[in-house]
Structures are given as C-alpha cells and as structure tokens.
Amino acid sequence: MHRLDFPAILTHLRLGRDLSAAQMRDTIVWLLSGEAEREAMREFLVLVARKGETVDELAGAAQGLRQSMVPVQASQRPVLDTCGTGGDGAKTFNISTAAALAIAACGIAVAKHGNRKITSATGSA
C-alpha cells in the first residue's frame, strides 16, 4: 500500500464526494494500523455516514477489514465463531458469551471475539 494522504481523503469527503473502493480499503487499513488518532477516526466515520456509503465504499471497507484481520489458527475443526453486536442499552448480561460457553460444552470448538463492556452489564474480554 502506498502512503495514505488522509487529509486529502477527509477533504474529498467534506466535499460530499464518494471514495473509490481502493481509497476506502487503504483508509480502513490505515485506521486499523494504530496510527490514526481517535478524532481522525471519528471525523472520517461521521463524514462517510453523512454522505451515505456507496457499494464501492462498502466493498473497499470489507477488503480493508479482511486485509487487516489476524487469522486464527485452530487445532480443531470445524470452529464456530460467535460475536455479540452489543448496543442494546439494556444493561443485560453478555448473551453471546453465554452462548459460546453452552456451545463449547456440547463439544464444538468456539472462537469468541472479546471486548470490554459498553452497553451491557459485562463484556467478553
């Protein structure tokens, strides 16, 4: 990937212009690299949401996410992946973690994404 000109990406979005799939992919990879400040991430996401996402932008974002992912090496196959979406705001317990434990008790390998609580009573990290 070439050096990303993030200020130019923001200017492009401020003008209400769509990003190409490659621009979106490169931006997502950069945002996930740890180099981006929180405010830069926020502004980017707000500008894209305000403009409305295009099919090319969504495809580019998916490419960037896949390019940035860390593959999981599993010793057992098949592996079930469970991840809660969060955001219910009801301060409930983490149902996806409970489901992962129940599934594992049945002898099925589970890969569980973990994070801190945001809107629920507990997280899964």
Rounded to whole angstroms, how far apart are CA atoms 67 and 71? Answer: 10
**Which pair of tokens denotes residue 7?**
């200020």
Which of 28, 44, 68 is at the close of a domain? 68
DSSP type of residue 90: S
75 pLDDT above the threshold of 60: yes
How does pLDDT run across 5-29, given as a tens digit for each residue?
Answer: 999 999 999 999 999 999 999 999 9
How does pLDDT run across 48-60, given as a tens digit for each residue?
Answer: 999 999 999 999 9
Rounded to whole angstroms, how far apart are CA atoms 95 and 124? Answer: 10
Q: Which pLDDT band holds residue 44 (cuts at 50, 70, 90)?
A: very high
Domain identity same for 64 and 95: no
Which of 48, 68, 88 is at the close of a domain? 68
Rounded to whole angstroms, how far apart are CA atoms 62 and 54? Answer: 12
**Which pair of tokens denotes residue 92?**
């409930």
pTM, to two decimals:
0.70
pLDDT value at position 112?
Answer: 75
Q: Which pLDDT band holds residue 31 (cuts at 50, 70, 90)?
A: very high
